[in-house]
Homo-oligomer: A and B are copies of this chain.
Amino acid sequence: MLNKATQETVAAGGTAAAPQDIAATMRVLGTSARKAARKLATATTAQKNAALQAMADAIRAATPEILAANARDIEAMKANGQTAAYLDRGTLTEERIEAIAKSLEDIGNLPDPVGQVIAEWDRPNGLHIERVRTPLGVVGVIYESRPNVTADAGALCLKAGNAVILRGGSDTFHSNRAIHAALERGLVAAGLPKEAIQIVPVADRAAVGEMLKGLDGTIDVIIPRGGKSLVARVQAEARVPVFAHLEGICHLFIDKAADLDMAIDVTANAKMRRTGVCGALETLLVDRSVADTHLVPICKALMDRGCEIRGDEEVRARLAEARPASEDDWRTEYLDAILAVRVVDGLDTAIDHIETYGSHHTDGIVTDDPKAAESFFQNVDSAILLHNASTQFADGGEFGMGGEIGIATGRMHARGPVGLEQLTSFKYRVRGSGQMRP
């Protein structure tokens, strides 16, 4: 009888493999990636951009194969009774494939971070010191069933001079492999090692476990892209650094000096522009001083847009339509048209609430009082803090980074949007004229 992991492999069209075979397969991926990373580290910007263009061309040329592979995945997903929303995320069309190719070209147009001098200074003894960006090395990306991530993550890592090992969701196994095959052709056409972008060739989940152990030190960082359960597993099991956010319980505080119209607009955009993104608002905090003037108009504007309001006693006393909020609501990332609303006793109480229940992702304040904004900026320990702007700006593209591979809430290395710069490390170059240390 097949075990669960093997069943999954077979269902996804792979061949059943024993755990030791998977470990061996993954070790080969790791060693090849490390070798490719060394070559990529000294690849020129022109070489990397040529590869990105060749990858885009190869994706376009492979449209029929990619669509055929995707049809196979979709059929299996339908047979497994997946929801319409899930099927939509996994479905590729000619337009979506063109968008993938275009995105590769866009990444080609971004400035190359590698070799940038981040800082330089002279020492009294005449030494000149430069801190210069270098690639990180080998990145492992573990993602759920969005085939475009195969190309996006591969391209961002390549541009930053890193080798990448991709492990996509098993539901889009064939789509991911077809896209990856095109990327590989682009790399080869541009004279870069095809091992610069590798994809795990088995759908077996044991492969994820091997990646999380770091493949004998060959993986430098793991980036998970997907839902909370994926990220939680990665954070719990990874023996290498992880760039991730577990959830985005984003807050907006309506200060006593908030302009009402701005508060309505910013709240509505933060909550309802898209409810399923990590920068979507989940909890609204309203200063008691303006609860009587601001709370109801803001909540009504949201209800008009189809949002359910869950409030504390103070909110429900002012807004009969509000459902009661429980302690759980303050800790919930709805990713849906639901908003938790609480009346608080001023800025400090709002900050306490955010530090108690928040996820250190993105939090904002609406106020015309610069001092209140400064205090909020100083005292809230989140990756992204906003003053008078929608929390949905929490995005590498919106930050002008030209793209992101995710958003991190950890404090090490990368925090906030993880773009090209965050995918690099640095080294010191010291120039002397025979200096000896006394």
Interface residues of A (CB under 8 A from B): 38, 41-42, 121, 123, 127, 129, 134, 136-137, 220-221, 239, 241, 259, 262, 265-266, 268-269, 273, 355, 373, 377-379, 381-390, 392-393, 395, 398-400, 411-413, 415-416, 425-437
Contact = CB atoms under 8 A, between A and B. Distances in A.
Given A127-B393, A266-B436, A389-B434, 18 more contacts: A134-B381, A266-B435, A269-B436, A373-B431, A381-B427, A382-B427, A385-B427, A385-B429, A387-B430, A387-B431, A387-B432, A393-B435, A398-B437, A399-B428, A411-B425, A412-B412, A416-B427, A416-B428
Contacts of A220: 411-412
How many identical chains are in the complex? 2
A436 B378 CA distance: 23
Given A385-B427, A388-B431, A431-B387, A265 B436 contact: yes
B430 A273 contact: no
A137 B355 CA distance: 14
A12 to B, nearest CB: 32
A64 to B, nearest CB: 34
A390 B127 CA distance: 11
A428 B393 CA distance: 12
A394 to B, nearest CB: 9
The 4 tightest CB contacts between A and B, nearest first, are A389-B432, A269-B436, A411-B425, A413-B413
A273 B436 contact: yes
Nearest to A427: B383
A269 B428 contact: no
Contacts of A430: 384-387, 389, 393
Nearest to A366: B434
A390 B437 contact: yes
A388 B432 contact: yes
